[in-house]
Amino acid sequence: MPRPGVIVWEALRNVFSKKATIDYPFEEGVKPKYGLRGAHVLYIEECTGCRACQRVCPSLAIEMVPSELTKTKKRPVINLGQCIFCGLCEEACRYDALFLTDYIELSAFQQKEMIIYENEPPKEEISEGNEPKEEDS
Partner 1 sequence: MADKKKIKLGSPQTGCSSCIPNTFEIPLGPQHPALKEPTHFLLEVEGEIIVNATPRIGYVHRGIEKLAETKTYSANLTLVERVCGICSHIHSISLANAAEAALALEGFEVPLRAQYIRTIVAELERIHSHILWLGVAAHEIGFDTLFMLSWRDRELTMDLLEDISGNRVNYAMNEIGGSRRDMNQSQIDRMLKYMDITEERMERYKDICINENTIRMRTQDVGILLPQKAKELCACGPTARASGVAIDVRYDDPYSAYGEFRDIFNVITYDTNDVFSRVVVRIIETVEACKYIKWMLKNIPDGPIFKKAPRKVPEAQILSRTEAPRGELIHYLWSNNTNKPYRLKITTPTLSNINTVPEMMKGDYLADSTITLASIDPCFSCEDRMITIVNNDRRKPKIETWSESQLRKYSNDWHAKNKRWKK
The CA–CA distances, whole Å, from 51 to 41, 101, 123, 126 equal: 16, 21, 21, 21
Q: Which residues bind partner 1 (CB under 8 A)?
A: 1-7, 10-11, 14, 20, 30, 32, 35-37, 56-59, 84-88, 91
Neighbours of 116 (CB within 10 A): 17
129 in helix, strand or coil?
A: helix
CB of 18 to partner 1, least distance (A): 11
Class of residue 43 by CB neighbours under 10 A (exposed 0-12, middle 13-18, buried 19+): middle
Question: In a 3-state reduction of DSSP, which class is residue 134?
Answer: helix
Tell me the closest approach of the beta carbon of residue 124 to partner 1, in angstroms: 36
CB of 7 to partner 1, least distance (A): 5
Rounded to the nearest whole angstrom, what is the least distance from the CB of residue 46 to partner 1 in the complex?
22
CA-based torsion, 95, 118, 114, 81: positive or negative: negative
Question: Shortest distance, CB of residue 20 to partner 1, whole angstroms?
Answer: 5
Distance CA 81, CA 36 (A): 18
Nearer to partner 1 by C-beta: 102 or 118?
102
Q: 92 vs 116, which CB is nearer to partner 1?
A: 92
Nearer to partner 1, 20 or 28 (CB): 20
